[in-house]
Amino acid sequence: MNRAALQQLPQAEQLLARLLDQMKPVVGPDTGIIGIHTGGVWIAQRLHAALNIQVPLGTVDVSFYRDDFEAKGLHRDIKTSDIPFDVEDRRLILVDDVLYTGRTIRAAMNVLFDYGRPASIKLAALVDRGGRELPVAADFLGGTISLAVSQSVALTRGHDNDGEHLSFVLHEN
Amino acid sequence: MWLDPRNPQLNKNGELNHLLSIEGLPADVLRQILDAAESFVGVTQREVKKVPLLRGKSVFNIFFENSTRTRTTFEIAAKRLSADVINLAIAQSSTSKGESMLDTVANLAAMQADMFVVRHAASGAPYLIAKHVGQDIHVINAGDGRHQHPTQGLLDMYTIRHYKKDFTNLRVAIIGDILHSRVARSQIHALTTLGCPEIRVIGPRTLIPADIRSLGVQVYHDLKEGLKDVDVVSTLRLQNERMKGALLASGQEFYKYYGITDDKLALAKPDAIVLHPGPMNRGVEIDSSVADGGQSVILPQVNFGIAIRMAVMSIVAGSWRG
Are B162 and B59 found together in one domain?
Answer: no
Are B267 and B160 found together in one domain?
Answer: yes
**Is residue B70 in a domain?**
yes
Are B157 and B144 found together in one domain?
Answer: no
CATH number for position A130:
3.40.50.2020
Are B95 and B48 found together in one domain?
Answer: yes
Per-residue pLDDT of B98-153, as tens digits, reads: 678 899 899 999 999 999 999 999 999 999 999 999 888 999 999 998 899 999 99
CB contact set of A148 (below 8 Å; sequence gap of 6+): none
Q: b/e map of B6-38 (b: 16 or more CB within 10 Å)?
A: ebbbbbeeebbbbbbbbbebeeebbebbbbbbb
**Contact call for residues B313 and A64 (beta carbons, < 8 A):** no
Look at residues A62, A54, A52, A3 and name the one whose alpha carbon lies nearest to residue A23: A52
**Residue B93's pLDDT band (cuts 50, 70, 90):** low
CATH number for position B202:
3.40.50.1370
Are B194 and B283 found together in one domain?
Answer: yes
* Spatial separation of the C-alpha atoms in residues B78 and B140, rounded to whole Å: 12
**Contact call for residues B288 and B260 (beta carbons, < 8 A):** no
Does any CB of chain A come closer than 8 Å to the CB of residue B36? yes
Cβ of B52 within 8 Å of Cβ of A74? The answer is no
- Please spell the DSSP secondary structure of B3-32, one letter per residue: --TT-TTB-TTS-B--B--STT--HHHHHH
Per-residue pLDDT of A120-140, as tens digits, reads: 999 999 999 999 999 999 999
Per-residue pLDDT of B141-178, as tens digits, reads: 999 988 999 999 999 999 999 999 999 999 999 999 99
Cβ of B39 within 8 Å of Cβ of A73? The answer is no
**Contact call for residues B170 and B177 (beta carbons, < 8 A):** no
| Structural domain span for residue B47 | 27-148+303-317
> If you ran DSSP here, which 8-state letter would residue A64 be given?
G
Average pLDDT over all residues of chain B: 91
Are B40 and B96 found together in one domain?
Answer: yes
Amino acid A1: pLDDT:
47
**Is residue B17 in a domain?**
no
Cβ of B47 within 8 Å of Cβ of A78? The answer is no
pTM of the model: 0.88
Sign of CA dihedral A120, A121, A124, A130: negative
Are B229 and B144 found together in one domain?
Answer: no
Query: Measured between CA atoms, how close is B238 to chain A, in angstroms?
Result: 38
Query: How many structural domains does chain B have?
Result: 2
**Is residue B168 in a domain?**
yes
**Is residue B18 in a domain?**
no
**Contact call for residues A111 and A92 (beta carbons, < 8 A):** no
| Structural domain span for residue A94 | 3-71+78-172
Is the confidence at residue B56, as pLDDT, over 50? Answer: yes
Are B122 and B198 found together in one domain?
Answer: no
Q: List per-residue pLDDT tens for chain A, 173 residues long.
A: 454 445 478 999 999 999 999 999 999 889 999 999 999 999 999 999 999 899 999 999 999 998 888 888 888 888 889 999 999 999 999 999 999 999 999 999 999 999 999 999 999 999 999 999 999 999 999 999 999 999 999 999 998 888 889 999 999 88
ipTM over 0.90: no
Amino acid B112: pLDDT:
92
Does any CB of chain A come closer than 8 Å to the CB of residue B320? yes
**Is residue B290 in a domain?**
yes
